[in-house]
Amino acid sequence: MRLAVLGAGAVGSSVAELAGDYGHTVTALADSRSAVLDPEGIDVGSALDRKEREGVVGDADPEEALAGTYDVLVEATPTTLGDAQPGFGHLRAALERDRHVVFANKGPVAERYADVRALERESGGTVLMEATVGGAMGYEHVLAEAQDLGVAEADPSFDVEGTDAALKCTILANVLAEGGREYTLEDATVEGIKSLPGSALELANEDGRTIRLIGEVSDGEVRVGPRLVPAYGALAVTGTRNIVQLETEHAGQLNVSGRGAGGPETATAVLADVDRLDS
Amino acid sequence: MRLAVLGAGAVGSSVAELAGDYGHTVTALADSRSAVLDPEGIDVGSALDRKEREGVVGDADPEEALAGTYDVLVEATPTTLGDAQPGFGHLRAALERDRHVVFANKGPVAERYADVRALERESGGTVLMEATVGGAMGYEHVLAEAQDLGVAEADPSFDVEGTDAALKCTILANVLAEGGREYTLEDATVEGIKSLPGSALELANEDGRTIRLIGEVSDGEVRVGPRLVPAYGALAVTGTRNIVQLETEHAGQLNVSGRGAGGPETATAVLADVDRLDS
């Protein structure tokens, strides 16, 4: 498939770098200020080198990437709230041209899910979003390190205030509702971990427990907040590791865990979506 | 979809009982001695009641179920080794009629994978097998309880000698090889837990570790045996819980865990396959 990648941060760069390994061609790469395009495939390495040296990937206008040659638009610009722009506009432009859209950006699918699906229905393109829900990470004391590693949200308050977890749970709630009801961030009850006293973790420890930021989606409710969990239990994941726990009717509890952040890790979710479109 | 269910043990019974909830119709149910058929849908409850009272589900010959009206043959007879009969013959009969086959029986897909795929290519039917690999369970001291609960293999030596784990790993190796190489049980190095001295577990405990029966598939090798694992780590699952751990090139380690045995749990995997055929 031919990919136009919007966003050249940790995720967009990784998607562009790994696309070739998965048999795809990157025909456009754009950051917020510039773009590089070639219908035959751009030179990803030199575009990212230039980004590092000069702060831009190329000489073209970023809007040109939207109008170029591609089968799939990979939307990996930073998550924004409210009107979810410019991500939502990028979606609309691609779907109007009957192109597929794969989101890494959580904004449009969390904040305007019904609009996204309505535009998709009118288009020959398909919208996928696996990369938007890898789990949730948090905790102020690992935040500095996380930012060094490039795995924290562009806006760090998204992590510590629980917004990132709430966005992911909102997306999950929409997917689970299968169009039966639309959820936005306003439907979520969100409590972050910023105001949690240090003594809380010590008290939890004495009791064989620890504290994690947990998002819950059930029976039409979306709740995010610090929760006490068993210190050695499945939910006590560390580092950038996330876990999704599903309570099923007949199959009991299913757990899926893996790294919930990081450029290459998130890029594999984007490229798995691209493969789904290809088959 | 119309389902013919072969096998009325824990898994076959659960598939028949739950099929209606998932929007499907059971047109045949067979045990090793009898069958009940109705192209409009059988009365599952009374067939299973009769099975409990009289040891048979109906008055028809079990072979009639194969020749009846159905879209999907659910093969849930006990796993046998060597020629994997009668499961393999059931597969052939269904594919010759261009019907789909969903396996819960591990024998045919572990022992004759290439033959299964060859017959599938000549047929209009598709073969799916999610239910054959839920993981592996074992340990002699939970075996009696497991048999009471109906979650142990029909042949208990399959659990304690590592055969069940080896079958699952052989199936996984075949699926991962994508036809590049065929694996059978002979390619697996298998060590069970039967001969493990009781003191081994105590020694492991002193060191903060425990012992689990682990099957490994990597670089063309299939190995099953008792392994030392961290006592509170992801691999130290208990009860009927299984875990599959995937080492990926770009996404790090992914874990998927859930109940690896039990009628309703396995039936949900069968019915998920049926849904895949339906879409």
Q: How far apart are CA B189 and CA B216, in angstroms?
A: 10
Residues, chain A: 279
Tell me the pLDDT of chain A (279 aa) as tens digits: 999 999 999 999 999 999 999 999 999 999 999 999 999 999 999 999 999 999 999 999 999 999 999 999 999 999 888 889 999 999 999 999 999 999 999 999 999 999 999 999 999 999 999 888 853 232 433 344 444 444 456 566 777 788 888 998 999 888 888 878 899 999 999 998 877 887 888 888 898 999 999 999 988 899 999 999 999 888 998 887 888 888 888 878 888 888 877 788 888 888 888 988 986
More confident site: B254 or A227: A227
All residues at 6 or more sequence positions from A258 whose CB lies less than 8 Å from its CB, including other chains: A134, A135, A241, A242, A265, B251, B252, B253, B254, B255
Beta-carbon separation of A253 and B258 below 8 A: yes
Helix (H, G, I), strand (E, B) or coil at A212: strand
Residues A255, A244: Cα–Cα separation, whole Å: 6
> In CATH, what is the architecture of A140-259?
2-Layer Sandwich (3.30)
Considering only alpha carbons, which residue of chain A is nearest residue B18? Answer: A250
What pLDDT band is residue B66 in, cutting at 50, 70 and 90? very high
Side chain identity at A252, as an amino acid letter? Answer: G
| Structural contact between residues A103 and A131, judged by C-beta atoms closer than 8 angstroms | yes
3-state secondary structure of B67: helix
pLDDT at B34: 97
B156 band by pLDDT with thresholds 50, 70 and 90:
low
Contact state of B264 with A250 under an 8 Å Cβ cutoff: yes
Q: Residue B221: CB partners within 8 Å, gap ≥ 6?
A: B189
Per-residue pLDDT at A65: 96
Which residues of chain B neighbour A251 with C-beta distances below 8 Å? 258-259, 264-265, 268-269
- Backbone dihedral angles phi then psi of residue B61, each to the nearest 5 degrees: -75, 140
Q: Grade residue B155 by pLDDT with cuts at 50, 70 and 90.
A: low
Contact: A255, B258; criterion CB under 8 Å: yes
Evaluate the omega torsion of the peptide bond into residue A156 and state whether it is cis, within 30 degrees of 0: no
Going A89 to A92 to A98 to A100, the CA torsion angle's sign is: positive
Which of A252, A258, A262 minimises the CB distance to B258?
A: A252
**H helices present in chain A, as ranges:** 10-19, 44-54, 62-67, 87-96, 107-111, 113-121, 140-149, 157-160, 163-177, 198-206, 263-278
For position A143, what pLDDT does the model report? 42
Is pLDDT above 70 for B77? Answer: yes
Report pLDDT for B137. Answer: 30
Question: Is B251 within 8 Å of A257 when comparing Cβ atoms?
Answer: no
Dist CA A233 CA B236 (whole Å): 11
Which positions ≥6 away from B160 have C-beta within 8 Å? B138, B139, B140, B143, B192, B193, B194
CB contact under 8 A, B255 and A256: yes
Q: Could you report the per-residue pLDDT of B228-248, keeping only the tens digit for each? A: 999 988 899 888 788 888 888
Please list, in sequence order, all residues whose beta carbon lies within 8 angstroms of the beta carbon of residue A274, skipping any fewer than 6 positions away.
A1, A3, A19, A22, A24, A72, A74, A102
pLDDT digits (tens, 9 = 90+) for B14-37: 999 999 999 999 999 999 999 999
Residues of A with CB under 8 A from a CB of B: 14, 18, 232, 234, 248, 250-259, 262, 264-265, 267-269
Q: How many CB atoms lie within 10 A of CB A48?
A: 19
On chain B, the residues whose CB falls within 8 A of the CB of A232 are 232
Span B82-105, average pLDDT: 95
> ipTM of this model?
0.74
- Kindly determine whether residue A257 and residue B252, on different chains, have CB atoms separated by under 8 Å: no
Beta bridge partners of B37: B28
Q: What is the pLDDT of residues A92-139, one digit of tens each?
A: 999 999 999 999 999 999 999 999 999 999 999 999 998 888 532 324
- Terminal C-alpha separation, chain B: 11
Sign of torsion over alpha carbons A98, A100, A105, A107:
positive
What is d(CA B65, CA B34) in angstroms, rounded to the nearest whole number? 9
Task: Delimit the domains of chain B by residue range.
Answer: 2-133+262-278, 140-259
The Cα of A142 is separated from the nearest Cα of chain B by a number of Å equal to 19
More confident residue, A210 or B155: A210
The pLDDT > 90 percentage for chain B reads 52
CB atoms within 10 A of CB A52: 9
Domain A2-133+262-278: homologous superfamily in CATH: NAD(P)-binding Rossmann-like Domain (3.40.50.720)
On the question of pLDDT at B165 being above 80, the answer is: yes
Q: Which residue in chain B is spatially nearest to A231 when comparing CA positions?
A: B232
Banded model confidence at residue B278, pLDDT cuts 50, 70, 90:
confident
